[in-house]
Amino acid sequence: MVPTDKAPYALRRETGDLAKGAAKLAGEIGSTGVEALLAGANRNMTGKGAPGALGSMKPKPSQWYAFDDKDQVTVDWYPQGLTCGEDSGSIGVPVFMASWYFKPEAGERGIRVSFASPKTLKYQHALLVQARPDGSYGPIDIHAGGIAVHGDLLYVADTLRGLRVFDLNNLLDLRTAQSDLGDPNRIGRHGRKFHAFGYRYVIPQTDFWQVAQAGPRFSFVSIDRSGATPQLITGEYREGDPGGWVARWDLAFAGGEPNDAFVMGHPKIQGAISWGGKWYLSQAASSTTNGKLLVHAGETLQTRPFPIGPEDLTVQDGKLWSVTEFKGKRVIFGVAL
């Protein structure tokens, strides 16, 4: 972890008409809360399911939860980002939030977030959308490689542009506006009906923090709550190049240059978080090979076992959590810090 120039990673606010579009849509559909969504969640996770995700990892994680069979086998959707209710500080129940991106180029369906309860093992998807002031809306075609929630604001990594922001106060339930969920093959407002590819919940984007200069890639995002002031962390995945970076901003987020920035010195980093004076890096390998957890403490580097396809990182209940992405191996898992 080598300090580097902060200036290239500066962000500027570009709200545009996003907030107006979101307010228009929320006013017509009506919002609900994360607690209510989880109370009626329609999918089931399995504790210690999909063990193939762990590969040769020893010791195994202290706990892990597998997505349901339908989400295990799909080749259309891939989980990427992970955050939790403790990151928010304002959600009243334990929850994980995992982002997924739609892979096929044809029939783009954008990105979604799963809200998952570690207590009930129930979860529910919500589609993230971009609304316009006239009340229309559509999918968001990005990778969503990382997410982090602070207060009511959900930050989503946009690889080439920076950070998209979604206000969880605008968690919209289509069932409050109409008796059905519309056409599962359509998105947006058509006549007097709302459609979201069959999803019950949508969350419109409300803000945007864009890169001030072209070049930096925003692959993942997390929050360090271990110090006196929480910090937002972003970083870049590079396939075969150890030159990927991480940077930290104070929250409440205000853009500009980060507090500090580092070159990580490792390729294939899918997620990173600083916590208690250490850096934790989630390193991928392949769809059949275990990844690694790299822990930097000053000049010391520790390599720890990790599952296959590890992604973004978050901390909840004193454990480090991540999510895995590959077909048949999709789990949220926790290990000791």
> What is the per-residue pLDDT for 115?
98
Determine the distance from the C-alpha atom of residue 15 to the mean position of all C-alpha atoms in its chain, rounded to a whole number. Answer: 20
**What per-residue confidence (pLDDT) applies to 72?**
98
Q: What letter would DSSP give residue 256?
A: B
- As averages over each run of 10 residues, the pLDDT of the chain (337 residues) reads 95 96 95 96 97 97 96 97 96 96 92 98 98 95 96 97 97 92 92 93 97 93 95 96 96 87 97 97 97 96 98 97 98 97
| Three-state secondary-structure class, residue 107 | coil
pLDDT of residue 68: 98
**Distance, C-alpha 249 to centroid of its chain:** 18
- The angle subtended at Cα 103 by Cα 29 and Cα 147, nearest 5°, is 60
In this predicted structure, what is the pLDDT of residue 255? Answer: 79
The pLDDT assigned to 200 comes to: 97
What pLDDT, on a 0 to 100 scale, did the predictor assign at position 9? Answer: 95
All domains in the chain, ordered by first residue: 2-336 (2.115.10)
Beta strand pairing call for 201-211 and 122-131:
parallel
What's the N-to-C CA distance of the chain in angstroms? 19
Burial of 143 (0-12, 13-18, 19+ CB in 10 A): buried
Identify the pLDDT of residue 253: 77
